[in-house]
C-alpha cells in the first residue's frame, strides 16, 4: 500500500471551480474520509487521483513521487464508484475477474479463480458468482463493486460514496465490514461521503470539503470538538449544533433576543459581536438549573430525546438521555456546560 499526497490541486470546469488549491495527505494504511455536501468536489478529487480527470494545476504524489504523467492503468488504484460500474453483460464472477484479466496483470485463470473466490467469501457473495449483475439488488451490487476493488492488491482504495444508495440497515452492516477489512488488511483508503455519521464512525482522519475548498483536516474528535468554522460545526453532529448570535459586554456574553448570558471564558480575547455554538448534548435539563425556558416540542428517539426549548425569542435543541415526556408549554430549567461552548467570529471562523 502507498501514501497519497495532493499538492495545491486546482480544477476548473467551464462554469464552476470544482477544486481550489486543495492540499492534503493520506498516510500509508490510513482510512481517510473526505466529507462534504453535494457539489463540494469530492468525486473530482478522487477522479484526479485516479487520473480519470486532469487537474489544471498542482500535483498528485504517491509515496512521495509525482505521478501526474501516469495513466489510470499505471496508477494502479482501485476505484469503487458511486453507481453504475458493474458490467451488465457479464456475470458476477467475470466482473470480479475483470481487473485480474487486464493486459497489465495477465493472471493465470486458476489463480484468478482462487482470488475471486476468496474475495467473494470475504464479502459473502459466493452464492452470486454465476448470476448476471443486472439482476442483483443494490446491496449485492455494491458488494460486488467493492469485491472488484479487493481482488487485486492496488496501491490504494478510492471509494466514492459506496454506501449512499443502500438502505439504512445494509449501510450499517457494510460500514462495519468495510472498517473491519480496512483495519485487518491495512489498506490505504480514501473514502468519500456526505454522511457525517459515516465519516465520524469510520475515519482515522477526516477532511472537510466545501465548494472546492478544504476547510479542515483532523481526527473525528478534532472535527467534532474543535470545528474550524460554523460550516464544519453544522455539518457534523445530529441534532445540529445551536448557533446563536451574541454580543459581549466587558466579561459577559449576552445571546441576542434571549435571556441567556454567560461569563466570557478567561484568557481569551473575544470580539464584541460573535456566534456562540452549543451542542445539544451540552444543554442539560436540570430542575435546579441556572436558566429557564419553555418546552416547544419533544422528539423521543428511544435512547435519547430531543427537547426544543424556547428561551426568549430563541429556540434551542437539547439532547436528554432516555425517553422523557414533557408537556408542551411547560416551564423547564437547564444548565450549559460552560467549558464546552464554541465561539466563532462574525465570518464564521473559530476563535481559538
Ligand X SMILES: Nc1ncnc2c1ncn2[C@@H]1O[C@H](COP(=O)(O)OP(=O)(O)OP(=O)(O)O)[C@@H](O)[C@H]1O
State the residues that interact with ligand X by CB under 6 A.
13, 16, 18, 36, 38-44, 194
- Closest approach, Cβ 80 to other proteins, in A, equals 9
Which of other proteins, ligand X, Mg ion, none lies near 91, with the C-beta cut-off 5 to 8 A by kind? none
Q: Does 43 bind Mg ion (CB under 5 A)?
A: yes
CB of 79 to other proteins, least distance (A): 4
CB of residue 58 vs ligand X: minimum separation in angstroms? 15
Q: Which helix (H) or strand (E) holds 244?
A: strand 242-249
**Does residue 83 belong to the site contacting other proteins (CB under 8 A)?**
yes
What pairing do the DSSP bridges indicate for beta strands 242-249 and 273-278?
antiparallel
Helix pair angle (138-150, 168-185), 10° resolution: 10
**C-beta nearest to Mg ion: residue:** 43
**Which residues touch 103 (CB under 8 Å, ≥6 apart)?**
none
Give the whole-angstrom CA distance, residue 4 versus residue 272: 43
Q: Write the interaction track for other proteins spanning residues 142-171; mark x where CB under 8 A is met and - where it is not.
A: ------x-----------------------
Which residue number, 15 or 268, has a Cβ lying nearer to ligand X? Answer: 15
Q: What pairs with residue 283 in β-bridges?
A: 336
Closest distance to Mg ion from the beta carbon of 329 (Å): 45
CA-derived radius of gyration, the chain: 24
Q: Residue 237, Cβ neighbours under 10 Å: how many? A: 20
Give the CA-trace dihedral at 211, 215, 217, 220, to 10 degrees: -80
Q: At what angle do helices 109-122 and 138-150 cross, to 10 degrees?
A: 130
Q: How many residues bind other proteins (CB under 8 A)?
A: 27
Nearer to Mg ion, 40 or 78 (CB): 40
* Binding region for other proteins (CB under 8 A) out of 84-92, 168-176, 196-204, 340-348: 84-92
Distance of closest approach, residue 144 Cβ to Mg ion, in angstroms: 20
Q: What angle do CA 345, 348, 349 make, to 5 degrees?
A: 70
In the bound state with ligand X, the residue whose beta carbon lies nearer, of 38 and 347, is: 38
CA dist 99 and 127 (Å) reads 21
Residues 26/4, Cβ–Cβ less than 8 Å: yes
CB nearer to ligand X: pick between 53 and 170: 53
Which is nearer to ligand X, 189 or 305 (by Cβ)?
189
Three cell numbers at 112? 484468478
Binding residue (CB under 8 A) for other proteins from 76, 161, 198, 282? 76
d(CA 86, CA 161): 15
Residue in 6, 26, 33, 78 binding other proteins, rule: CB under 8 A: 78
Instruction: List residues binding other proteins (CB under 8 A).
Output: 47, 50, 52, 71-73, 75-79, 81-85, 87-89, 98-99, 102-105, 134, 148
Binding site for Mg ion (CB under 5 A): 43
Amino acid at each position: 500500500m502507498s501514501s497519497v499526497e495532493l499538492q495545491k490541486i486546482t480544477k476548473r470546469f467551464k462554469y464552476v471551480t470544482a477544486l481550489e488549491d486543495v492540499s492534503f495527505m493520506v498516510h500509508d494504511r490510513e482510512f481517510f474520509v473526505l466529507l462534504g455536501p453535494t457539489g463540494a468536489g469530492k468525486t473530482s478529487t478522487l477522479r484526479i487521483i485516479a487520473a480519470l480527470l486532469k487537474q489544471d494545476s498542482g500535483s498528485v504524489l504517491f509515496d512521495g513521487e509525482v505521478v501526474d504523467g501516469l495513466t489510470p492503468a499505471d496508477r494502479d488504484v482501485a476505484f469503487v464508484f458511486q453507481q453504475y460500474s458493474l458490467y451488465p453483460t457479464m456475470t458476477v464472477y467475470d466482473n470480479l475477474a475483470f481487473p485480474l484479466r487486464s493486459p497489465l496483470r495477465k493472471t493465470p485463470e486458476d489463480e484468478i479463480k482462487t482470488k475471486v473466490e476468496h474475495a467473494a467469501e470475504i464479502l459473502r457473495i459466493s452464492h452470486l458468482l454465476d448470476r448476471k449483475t443486472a439482476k442483483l439488488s443494490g446491496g449485492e451490487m455494491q458488494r460486488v463493486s467493492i469485491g472488484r476493488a479487493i481482488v487485486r492488491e492496488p496501491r490504494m482504495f478510492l471509494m466514492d460514496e459506496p454506501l449512499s444508495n443502500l438502505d439504512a440497515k445494509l449501510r450499517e452492516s457494510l460500514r462495519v465490514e468495510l472498517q473491519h477489512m480496512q483495519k485487518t488488511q491495512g489498506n490505504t483508503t480514501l473514502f468519500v461521503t456526505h454522511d457525517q455519521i459515516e465519516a465520524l464512525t469510520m475515519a482515522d482522519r477526516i477532511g472537510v470539503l466545501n465548494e472546492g475548498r478544504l476547510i479542515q483536516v483532523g481526527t473525528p474528535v478534532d472535527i467534532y470538538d474543535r470545528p474550524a468554522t460554523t460550516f464544519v460545526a453544522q455539518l457534523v453532529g445530529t441534532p445540529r449544533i445551536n448557533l446563536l448570535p451574541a454580543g459581549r459586554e466587558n466579561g459577559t456574553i449576552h445571546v441576542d433576543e434571549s435571556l441567556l448570558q454567560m461569563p466570557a471564558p478567561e484568557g481569551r480575547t473575544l470580539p464584541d459581536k460573535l456566534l456562540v455554538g452549543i451542542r445539544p448534548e451540552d444543554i442539560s435539563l436540570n430542575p435546579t438549573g441556572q436558566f429557564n425556558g419553555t418546552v416547544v416540542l419533544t422528539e423521543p428517539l428511544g435512547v435519547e430525546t430531543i427537547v426544543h426549548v424556547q428561551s426568549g425569542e430563541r429556540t434551542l435543541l437539547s439532547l436528554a438521555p432516555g425517553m422523557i415526556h414533557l408537556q408542551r408549554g411547560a416551564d423547564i430549567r437547564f444548565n450549559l456546560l460552560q467549558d464546552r461552548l464554541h465561539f466563532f467570529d462574525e465570518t464564521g471562523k473559530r476563535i481559538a
